[in-house]
């Protein structure tokens, strides 16, 4: 078992990083009911861990007996029949899905599939609860039409179903949806808290964590606790015992993006743009989210740029990231961003030579 799962808090009483949130959730559970809930915060902060602890507090350990299903759904439209394939994770008490996985068809998932699941009676048979729970991940990636359909589902089927939604960027969730939820902000752990968790894990595993190496791990994690634990376990597999001069092992896709940034800065030609486009395609084909590619590519470019062009690069990155959210083909916007960066760098280099 991975350390990130092995040392994950199981019950609301076990939380130390988000003890205040866990105590408030316990009070909600004690009332026998709770409203639609929206957990939001940065990646690796503990949103899904809190959701699972909440479900255990409501239904008991039965929520851990889950099955994964990937099946096609037939949706009848006025002019045609649409088939979408969706993966769900379900137990006898709850069902978890990511409607944004189907892309532009997410509104049909919300309008038909979620509506059908919400209108049916609870999945559990012991009669202990009069409602079931649907956990929706990455609701901030849903289209506006899907969020509007979600709002109607929340209103109409609230007696039989509770929605627990998880997102990273709450500003991308419509106000009508947010206003119908109990919004719970899950803040990223501080550097000291991440350091404390790493020390606790290594102590439990019987390992020694050198201070300098631990500091580099904390810096690399950027307050993402899941990332810190995964990196720690990778470093343990590579070299153990740990040493002060040991460096955190970056993920392959991060190293690949750093290589793409180096290609962009080394040469600004149509041929190089074509080669970079192929590498961006490869990242997308390996399921790296386009928003993550854009963000990490910008960070790597800023390390290599002169100060005079950094502000312009950040401004264009913000513009193309917005277009990335609104458009359908991610490669178009990523390639346009790369082309713009190449133009900026080329223009600055030409002006310096003049």
pLDDT tens digit at each of 354 positions of the chain: 889 999 999 899 989 889 999 999 999 888 877 889 999 999 999 999 999 999 999 888 888 888 898 878 777 777 788 888 888 888 888 889 888 888 778 888 887 777 777 666 554 444 456 678 889 999 988 888 888 888 888 888 777 788 899 999 898 899 999 998 999 999 999 999 999 999 999 999 999 999 999 999 999 999 999 999 999 999 998 888 899 889 998 889 999 999 999 999 999 999 999 999 999 999 999 989 898 999 999 999 999 999 889 999 999 999 999 888 777 788 999 999 999 999 999 999 898 886
Contacts with 242 (C-beta within 8 Å, 6 or more apart), sequence order: 202, 207, 208, 209, 210, 213, 235, 236
- pLDDT at res. 125: 43
Going 241 to 242 to 246 to 248, the CA torsion angle's sign is: positive
- Cβ 54 vs Cβ 186: under 8 Å: no
- pLDDT at res. 127: 46
Q: What is the dihedral of CA 229, 133, 167, 116, to 10 degrees?
A: 130
- pLDDT at res. 228: 93
Q: Which string of DSSP letters, residue by residue, matches 241-304?
A: S--TT------HHHHHHHHHHHHHHH--SHHHHHHHHHHHHHHHHTT--HHHHHHHHHHHHHHH
Cα separation, 195 vs 228, whole angstroms = 9
């Amino acid at each position: 078992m991975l350390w990130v799962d092995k040392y994950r808090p199981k019950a609301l009483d076990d939380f130390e990083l988000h003890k205040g949130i866990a105590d408030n959730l316990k009070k909600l559970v004690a009332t026998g009911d709770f409203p639609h809930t929206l957990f939001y915060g940065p990646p690796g902060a503990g949103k899904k861990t809190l959701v699972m602890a909440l479900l255990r507090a409501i239904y008991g350990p039965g929520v851990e007996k889950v099955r994964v299903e990937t099946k096609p759904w037939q949706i009848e439209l006025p002019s045609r029949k649409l088939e979408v394939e969706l993966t769900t994770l379900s137990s006898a008490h709850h069902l978890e899905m990511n409607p944004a996985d189907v892309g532009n068809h997410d509104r049909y998932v919300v309008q038909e599939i979620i509506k059908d699941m919400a209108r049916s009676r609870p999945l559990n048979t012991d009669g202990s609860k009069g409602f079931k729970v649907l956990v929706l991940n990455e609701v901030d990636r849903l289209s506006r039409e899907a969020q509007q359909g979600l709002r109607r589902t929340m209103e109409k089927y609230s007696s039989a179903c509770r929605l627990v939604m998880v997102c990273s960027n709450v500003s991308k969730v419509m106000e009508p949806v947010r206003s119908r939820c109990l919004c719970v902000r899950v803040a990223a752990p501080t550097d000291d808290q991440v350091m404390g968790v790493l020390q606790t894990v290594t102590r439990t595993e019987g390992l020694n964590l050198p201070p300098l190496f631990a500091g580099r791990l904390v810096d690399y994690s950027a307050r993402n606790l899941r990332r810190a634990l995964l990196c720690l376990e990778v470093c343990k597999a590579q070299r153990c015992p740990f040493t002060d001069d040991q460096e955190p092992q970056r993920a392959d896709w991060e190293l690949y993006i750093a290589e793409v940034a180096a290609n962009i800065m080394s040469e600004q030609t149509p041929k190089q743009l074509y080669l970079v486009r192929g590498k961006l395609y490869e990242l997308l084909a390996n399921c790296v989210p386009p928003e993550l590619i854009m963000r990490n590519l910008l960070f790597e470019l800023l390390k290599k740029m002169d100060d005079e062009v950094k502000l312009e690069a950040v401004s264009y990155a913000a513009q193309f990231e917005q277009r990335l959210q609104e458009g359908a083909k991610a490669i178009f916007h990523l390639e346009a961003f790369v082309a713009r960066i190449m133009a900026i760098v080329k223009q600055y280099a030409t002006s310096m030579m003049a």
